[in-house]
Amino acid sequence: MPIDNILAKKISKDITVSLFIYTLPVAVLFLYFAIKGETPWVNNAHVPVPVNLPAALKFIAPVFKNIQSWGFIVIALVLGAFEFGLGLYDNKWTKTERTIDIVCFLAPKFLLPPVTAYFSLKLLPLILPGLTNQFSWVPFWAGFFIIAVADDLTQYWYHRLHHQLPFLWRFHRTHHSAPYMGMAMASRQNFIYTVFFSQIYLTATLVYLGLGFPALFVTVIKSFITLSAHSSIAWDKPFYKYKVLHPVAWVLERFISTPATHQSHHADSVDAIGNYKGNFGNMFFLWDVIFKTGIITRKYPQSFGIKFYKQEEWYAQFLWPIFKSKKPGSELSSNGPEVGDEIGSGRLYYEEDYAGHGQGIEPVTYKSLSNS
């Protein structure tokens, strides 16, 4: 199904702006050294500069070093247990949903490392020979911002295009199919979608070039933000409830993803609160503010998932199109529709149709905080 010209022009315009944003941290870095009159890249020793953690932070060093293995799993399990203890899954975790969540959570831990290891250890030396630690002269603070912007803005586009280009939707659909919101949603993805995460390879490349320690910090912070944004625990609600915290809330909700803004993305409808055709930000909601693809309401949807969900088999949701669903009419079946919410006119509704009627961020609502 082709996309309309208006959307195509908006995507092109926003990509152009994104290319400029990618260069900003690098421009600031060189401006910094120009002001200091230094050229550290000239005498680059190609050896990573060690960064010593403050004594107060040394206790979390193991979590930092192991965030991509057991560190992430421990954090997710603790948060998940807390959610269950509070009954926040509302008895919607059926056998089918349980299987999908567990497979999507555990399988990539075994299937993805060989892929990323091959890319890092075999392909990068061939593609970029002799460039190991080429950027080791970059200060930690600059490396942090370079990777934070490069990683998350790339994921914003990867995510957004899977919603806006119909032929990509089914690779991302599994992430939206659950009728509940919770920690498990952060890793609930089709494996094909996961293995082609563009930011994984971009970050691996920057690590190869000498930005390993900043990448580790970005990974840790991003893991905490994305897990908490997917969580059913509305930790951001106090910021909206108490007037004294409203200035903090105003900055917070426009800078990072929160339960309110990301739950809106997982709502099963597009209305004054739900916006699953927008609110694409993963770590930073700032991208949605810049590109006017988000709404901020400070409310929480009553229901989640997708209206045309047929509770497809776990193998179809995890490995489509390798394995397809046997459910008639399913998007994941052999002859199913490309996108389940097709409109009779033959076009799709995009976030521009809902998010402020093309005006971007909706006015913030301070009342009606009873939704949870």
Query: Is 363 a member of any domain?
Result: no
Query: Is 218 a member of any domain?
Result: yes
Residue 184 in 3-state DSSP? helix
Query: Is 244 a member of any domain?
Result: yes
Would you state the pLDDT for residue 354?
38
Whole-number Å distance between alpha carbons of 316 and 310: 12
Query: Is 334 a member of any domain?
Result: yes
- Phi/psi for 21 (5° steps) reads -65, -40
Query: Is 31 a member of any domain?
Result: yes
Structural domain of residue 141, as residue ranges? 5-48+80-358
Residues of the chain with pLDDT under 50: 67-72, 82-84, 86-88, 342-372
Would you state the pLDDT for residue 111?
87
Would you state the pLDDT for residue 22?
96
Would you state the pLDDT for residue 352?
41
Query: Is 202 a member of any domain?
Result: yes
Neighbours of 24 (CB within 10 A): 12
Query: Is 61 a member of any domain?
Result: no
The total number of structural domains that make up the chain: 1
Neighbours of 199 (CB within 10 A): 20
Would you state the pLDDT for residue 213?
83
Would you state the pLDDT for residue 274?
85
Query: Is 287 a member of any domain?
Result: yes
Would you state the pLDDT for residue 108?
85
